Structure formats: C-alpha cells, structure tokens
C-alpha cells in the first residue's frame, strides 16, 4: 500500500511540474509578445516622416542607437531586422548632406519603406 501511495505522490509531483512548465512557457510567450509590441511602438514613435533638415542630423545618432538597442532586445528576427533597417537609415542620414532636397526626398522614401516593413512584422 505504501508503494502505491509513493507512486501516486510521484505522479502528482510530475503533473505539477509539467503544469509549471506550461505556465512558464505561457509567461515566456507573453513576455516576448509584450517586448515585440513595446519595441514596435517605440520604433514607430521614433520615425521621422517629415524630416527637418536642421534637426534630423542632430537626432539621427540618438535614434540609430535606440533602434539598435530595441533590435538587440526583441526576440523575433523579423522585427529585429526591420529595426536594424531603420537604424541603418538613420546612420546614413548622419553621413549624408541631408540639407540637399534630393537627399531628403531619398532618405524620406527609404524611411517610409523601412516603416512599412516594420508595420508588417509588427502586425
């Protein structure tokens, strides 16, 4: 009889541990989703759709750095790739003569393309 009691206790412990594993997985999935949502929301708020040539270069370094941090912290590769693409665009803005109207138009188009890619992976 003691043998059956011990076996039942082990079975119950195994079920409890299995339940804990499922709960842990669910929590992990929720945390990943929350990280994705917050990274997407912040990246979208960082985007410049009407760049001001007087300030874009000054802010580009900070935006590039923050986008790379978000890319490093998000778990999904497609989201990280979209964030890195946006960061690369801000890096390019730092290197170019962004005061030229043609450069501003090119940069704005690239930025919109990166935003579209981000919206798709964040949906």
Q: What is the pLDDT of residues 91-110, one digit of tens each?
A: 888 887 777 778 878 888 88
Q: What is the pLDDT of residues 63-87, one digit of tens each?
A: 999 999 999 999 889 999 999 999 9
Q: What is the pLDDT of residue 54?
A: 73
Those residues whose C-beta lies under 8 Å from the C-beta of residue 51, and which sit 6 or more positions away, are: 93, 98, 104, 107, 108, 111
Average confidence score pLDDT of the chain: 77
- Band (pLDDT 50/70/90 cuts) for residue 88 is very high
Whole-prediction pTM: 0.70
């Amino acid at each position: 009889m003691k043998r059956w009691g011990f076996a039942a206790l082990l079975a119950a412990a195994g079920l409890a541990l299995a339940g804990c594993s499922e709960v842990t997985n669910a929590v992990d999935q929720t945390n990943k989703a929350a990280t994705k949502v917050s990274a997407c929301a912040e990246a979208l708020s960082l985007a410049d759709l009407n760049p001001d040539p007087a300030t874009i270069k000054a802010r580009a370094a900070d935006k590039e750095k923050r986008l790379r941090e978000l890319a490093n912290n998000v778990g999904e590769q497609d989201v990280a790739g979209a964030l890195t693409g946006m960061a690369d665009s801000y890096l390019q803005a730092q290197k170019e003569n962004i005061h030229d109207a043609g450069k501003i138009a090119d940069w704005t188009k690239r930025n919109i393309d990166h935003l579209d890619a981000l919206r798709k992976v964040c949906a």
